[in-house]
Amino acid sequence: MAELIEIKVPDIGDFDEVEIIEVLVAEGDSVEVNQDIITLESDKAAMEIPSPADGVIKELKVAVGQKVKQGDVIALAEAASKTTTEASSPVKSAPAAIATPSPEAVPEVVAGGLIDIEVPDIGDFDEVEIIEVLVSEGDSVDVNQDIITLESDKAAMEIPSPVAGTVKQLKVAVGDKVKQGDVIAIAETSAVLSTPLPAAETIPVSSGKETAATIVAEALSKPAPEIEPEPELAPFAPDSKSGIKQAHASPSVRQFARELGVVLSQVGGTGVKGRITKQDVQGFVKQKLNAPAATTGGSAIPPVPIVNFEKFGEIESVELPRIKKISGKHLHACWLNIPHVTQFDEADITELEQFRKANKESAAKQGVNLTPLVFIMKAVVASLKVYPELNASLSEDKEHLIIKSYYNIGVAVDTPNGLMVPVIKDVDKKGFLELAGELGEISARARDGALTAKDLQGGTFSISSLGGIGGSFFTPIVNAPEVAILGIGRHTMQPVWNGKEFEPKLMLPLSVSYDHRVVDGALGARFTTHLNHMLSDIRKVLL
């Protein structure tokens, strides 16, 4: 029969009893050396007690809310291997504890003077991260009122003010790392420090797993006997002075929350004294995942109010076509996720239209309809070759730009069932007549509902033309994962000043929308101007 060992509370300093706020294992669980068993909490720090051996928990001797001291049995374990350290000995490799300054280290303070509030002795650690700043500039603080909270892999600790006064300047912020002697804040004292802070009290704690940095808890000074302790705040209630919500959780729960991307100040605690447990974090995540999609709009914007239209008159409910349902969701996602900018311009297509009309009859004999869109597609490709950033996509991590060496142009087609965007592949490799034939064929299949999934994939840039319907400028929505789209309005004959007189010119409205994360205003303007020049003299496309 395997050996049963007693897992005991190691040396925790001069404290008679420390409360258990979490039991991290259950009977029957397998544990490894240095795996945390329970979490203790003193007035100023939380610490975790690890298992001294590999094995199986046969019996738990403690529960949440109990108080324990050095030598108390936490659990009985069936050892799977020889213990690495005696159960009753202090935790292996426990570092020196964090200590408050000695009375001699406390500077003499004069009422009304400015004093630096510094990080006290935190042992052998070079830097510890700040996870909370509990005061703001202008706040009044009392002696021993907590200023900041530090956290390592294994413990959280709070640093108090050594004086009563007003915080004049904060020198740190959440996320900063500090070490002994670093200035936290500058305070203007309101009274002489009548008694120095008492000598440091230390709490050795577990070193935890070998891969984690060990942190020792600190018991800073106890409140002076004549000062009544403030009543404990309700869980997550804002601090009355700074308005900052405090998340009460052990280091292991904080690490667990970080791994899941959970902000602890948003989680309600059900543990002892409002502590946040791992179950609370898991429940919060499940609640968010199961929240109905209708509760909010995109990017957590408020939902549109629901209105009963029948009370205003007769109505009819008509179901949206399937294509509009699908494209609507995609367009909604594109609009919310892409920071849009639209560049407007007008292109002189007088010569282009003359050339098109001169060749229209010849194209018709070959069975194709030579439309202005064919020329616009070729002009777009010529411009994309000069400005390849617009023929690209953002990588999934949004850290890289994927520039494509192929030119597949999506063309928006108005069908009886809604807007569809079939893709014309390799536009740069095809002539005007070949493109005209392919454009006519794929547009017909789109209107007949005969497009395949392959016809709708692989686009690098899109064109939306409203010229056949009417209108001038508009703001087309970028078709992600593309980064730009061209909108074309209806061309009109306009008088254009040539420096001497007005000339009649056929002007085409251009609206280029682009993803501002990829394309800035200057690049967008250059692309639009280059496209304008290509359309003004379509022969340049051949260069």
Most confident of 89-98, 130-139, 198-207: 130-139
Give yes or no: 516 in active site.
yes
Q: At what angle do helices 278-290 and 251-260 cross, to 10 degrees?
A: 20
More confident residue, 102 or 318: 318
Question: Are 208 and 214 within 8 A, CB to CB?
Answer: yes
* Residue 179: how many other CB atoms lie within 10 Å: 11
Q: Which helix (H) or strand (E) holds 247?
A: none
Instruction: Give the model confidence (pLDDT) of 7-28 as tens digits.
Output: 988 877 666 788 888 888 889 8
Q: Where are the alpha helices (DSSP H) in 456-520?
A: none
Same fold, 4-79 and 323-542: no
- The model's confidence at residue 31, banded by pLDDT at 50, 70 and 90, is confident
Q: What is the pTM of this model?
A: 0.48
3 state DSSP class of 426? coil
In angstroms, the CA 512 to CA 461 distance is 11
SS3 content of the chain, % helix, strand, coil (to 5): 25, 25, 50
Write down how long the chain is.
Answer: 543
Residue 42's pLDDT band (boundaries 50, 70, 90)?
A: confident
pLDDT digits (tens, 9 = 90+) for 304-318: 888 888 889 999 988
With beta carbons less than 8 A apart as the criterion, state whether 187 and 141 touch. yes
C-alpha to C-alpha distance for 80 and 30, rounded to whole angstroms? 9
pLDDT of the residue at 153:
62
- Nearest Cα neighbor of 423 from 390, 457, 451 is 457
CATH number of 4-79: 2.40.50.100
**Active-site entry in 248, 400, 516, 533:** 516
DSSP state letter for 415: E
352-407 tens-digit pLDDT: 999 999 999 999 999 999 999 999 999 999 999 999 999 999 998 889 999 999 99
Of 165-179, 235-249, 506-520, give the lowest mean pLDDT range.
235-249
Q: Where are the domains of the chain?
A: 4-79, 94-230, 323-542
Long-range CB contacts (< 8 A, 24+ apart) of 264-267?
A: 265/236, 267/236
DSSP-derived letter for residue 87 is: T
323-542 folds as Chloramphenicol Acetyltransferase (3.30.559)
Sequence-distant (≥ 6) Cβ neighbours of residue 107 within 8 angstroms: 115
pLDDT digits (tens, 9 = 90+) for 253-289: 887 888 888 888 788 888 766 778 888 898 888 888 7
In whole angstroms, give the CA distance from residue 323 to residue 328: 8
- Topology classification of domain 94-230: OB fold (Dihydrolipoamide Acetyltransferase, E2P) (2.40.50)
